Amino acid sequence: MALKLGKVTAVYPGSFDPITYGHLDLITRGAILFDKLVVAVLRNAAKEPLFTVEEREAMLREVVKDCLNVEVDSFDGLLVDYAARKGATVLLRGIRAISDYEYELQMALMNRRLRPEIETVFLMAGEAYSFLSSRLVKEVIALGGDISGLVPPVVEARLRQRVLGK
């Protein structure tokens, strides 16, 4: 097998509704590992997100503005087709707990079958964020709980406005 040298572009896909410090942890670590990291917001009409794709992209751009090799984009359709269009050879996925692994493994194997030239790389969530999900953040704020330290301040402000009208 011949070794291919060159710039490596990775895609980190997700709903990011909203972006959490867990997501940001993976983004900053991915930005170190890869020459270019595309953070791609999934456009999924079947889900009812709290924020529009455009709002999520804007929040992402705000919190990653200092990561010069990170691009924010959105996509629909098959992730591997999108990655190929972006020239990516890696899909970056985060794993928080063993329960994530089964789903992520199935997705990685299907993606490999569809596009064998694109590898999936798993990063373990940082210990401080291994419990954190967008769903939990939305539930906590809706019930009047404190989400500081779970999401960046710009995201917290938008959540307070959207969920609590404050």
Among 15, 56, 93, 134, the active-site one is 134
Q: Is 96 a catalytic residue?
A: yes
Catalytic residue among 29, 86, 96, 162: 96
**Whether 23 is catalytic:** yes
Spell out a b/e string for 19-46, using b for 16 or more CB atoms within 10 Å of the CB, else e.
bbbbbbbbbbbbbeebebbbbbbbeeee
Catalytic site residue from 47, 99, 113, 148? 47
β-bridge mates for residue 148, sequence order? 151
Give, rounded to a whole angstrom, the gap between the first and last alpha carbons of the chain. Answer: 58
**Is-contact 63 154, C-beta < 8 A?**
yes
Q: CA dist 96 to 38, 56, 99, 106, Å?
A: 21, 22, 8, 16
Of residues 23, 36, 93, 138, which has the active-site annotation?
Answer: 23
Residues marked as catalytic = 23, 47, 96, 134
